[in-house]
Amino acid sequence: MRVSWTFPDEHGDDARGRRVTRQGPPVARAVKARPVGEVTRGTTGHNRLRRSDRWITAVYGRLLVSGERPLVVDLGYGASHVTTTELFLRLRRVRPDVEVVGMEIDPLRVAAAKPYERPGLTFVRGGFELPVSRPPLVVRAFNVLRQYDEAQAWEAWGMLRSRLAAGGVVVEGTCSEIGHRATWVTLDASGPRTVTLSARLGGLGRPSDLAERLPKALIHRNVPGERVHAFLRDFDHAWTVSAPYGAYGARSRWIAAVERLAETWPVPASPPLGGRRRWRLGEVTVPWTAVAPEGTG
């Protein structure tokens, strides 16, 4: 990842030694900064992110109504405005004056989304530096970090966290093409806090089928010796022994499996993060520390 802040130094040169002042004494003048990050594939689709939208409104509804008009950034919305518009419409039910900014690093995708602006919803160019006029309360970034490497993903997490409003959160995740399978991490100013797995249960073979959708910071850690691997192994076991509940439907089986898993893993069992109302949606959330990669705490 290229970090592209181009502020002149005392000689009027930028970080790469290029002159950014015209003549005379050095001037502390910023030239237009290049957004931090890279243009990647723009794949997206209607309702693809409904699982995380639903989760954000349920889990952060209180946060969204708690203070001044909240700013929410949807980073890397892709080739179409749709997922940002859907997030806006869903958040507006919770907080009617919410301001949502769809942010893309690709200027052509920003131009394509502009006609869909409306009061409270805008589309702008930007990257991980989040060029907005005030700190966002929520940053949602889905299917963005997949195409960066693990070290870059951690770096991006750090940059996004540093831009948050007080009490704010980053929701960073990955999902399947049409959103039937998704996982996401939430982070606050201090670091990663939770990991959520969410699946359409019809057609799910076993919980570890979600492994291929793990966020970048975890996907390469699904190997013996890592916590996330042990977690998925134990979840699969709980799913197997809960098979008899399948007679009442896949939801009953998932709930039984999560309850079994909670005997040995720190699964929150009450709202907003846990409890049957969330589990029946094919979700489970655990603290980040339960599955964090070895050596990261």
Binding-site member from 12, 48, 60, 221 for ligand SAM (CB under 6 A): 48
Q: Report the alpha-carbon distance of residue 157 to residue 110 in Å, rounded.
A: 23
The residues pairing with 199 across neighbouring beta strands, listed in sequence order, are 181
Question: Shortest Cβ distance from residue 238 to ligand SAM (Å)?
Answer: 29
Read off the tokens for 13.
């040169």
Question: Shortest Cβ distance from residue 80 to ligand SAM (Å)?
Answer: 8
Considering the rule CB under 6 A, would residue 218 count as an interface residue with ligand SAM?
A: no
Cα separation values, 76 from 101, 121, 159, Å: 11, 15, 15
Query: How many residues make contact with ligand SAM (CB under 6 A)?
Result: 27
Q: Report the alpha-carbon distance of residue 40 to residue 228 in Å, rounded.
A: 27
Cα separation values, 183 from 12, 28, 92, 242, 263, Å: 45, 44, 24, 22, 22
Looking at the Cβ atoms of 20 and 182, the one nearer to ligand SAM is 182
Query: Which of the ranges 74-82, 86-94, 192-200, 264-272 carries the binding residues for ligand SAM, by CB under 6 A?
Result: 74-82
Beta-sheet pairing, 71-75 with 138-142: parallel
Considering the rule CB under 6 A, would residue 52 count as an interface residue with ligand SAM?
A: no
Binding-site member from 43, 47, 264, 296 for ligand SAM (CB under 6 A): 43
- Picking from 66, 133, 74, the residue whose alpha carbon sits closest to that of residue 94 is 66
Considering the rule CB under 6 A, would residue 41 count as an interface residue with ligand SAM?
A: yes
Cα separation values, 156 from 43, 144, 212, Å: 20, 10, 21
**Closest residue to ligand SAM, based on beta-carbon distance:** 37
Query: Which of the ranges 97-105, 113-121, 161-169, 228-236 carries the binding residues for ligand SAM, by CB under 6 A?
Result: 97-105
Q: Report the alpha-carbon distance of residue 115 to residue 100 in Å, rounded.
A: 15
Looking at the Cβ atoms of 78 and 192, the one nearer to ligand SAM is 78
Question: Shortest Cβ distance from residue 190 to ligand SAM (Å)?
Answer: 22
Sheet with 169-175: strands ordered across: 121-125, 99-104, 71-75, 138-142, 169-175, 181-188, 191-199, 283-287
Question: Shortest Cβ distance from residue 24 to ligand SAM (Å)?
Answer: 35
- Picking from 289, 140, 128, the residue whose alpha carbon sits closest to that of residue 218 is 289
Considering the rule CB under 6 A, would residue 184 count as an interface residue with ligand SAM?
A: no
Tell me if residue 152 falls in helix, strand or coil: helix
Convert residues 132-171 into a mask of x (bound to ligand SAM by CB under 6 A) and - (unbound). ----------xxx---------------------------
Considering the rule CB under 6 A, would residue 131 count as an interface residue with ligand SAM?
A: no
Considering the rule CB under 6 A, would residue 254 count as an interface residue with ligand SAM?
A: no
Which residues here bind ligand SAM, judged by CB under 6 A?
35-44, 48-49, 75-78, 83, 103-106, 109, 127-128, 142-144
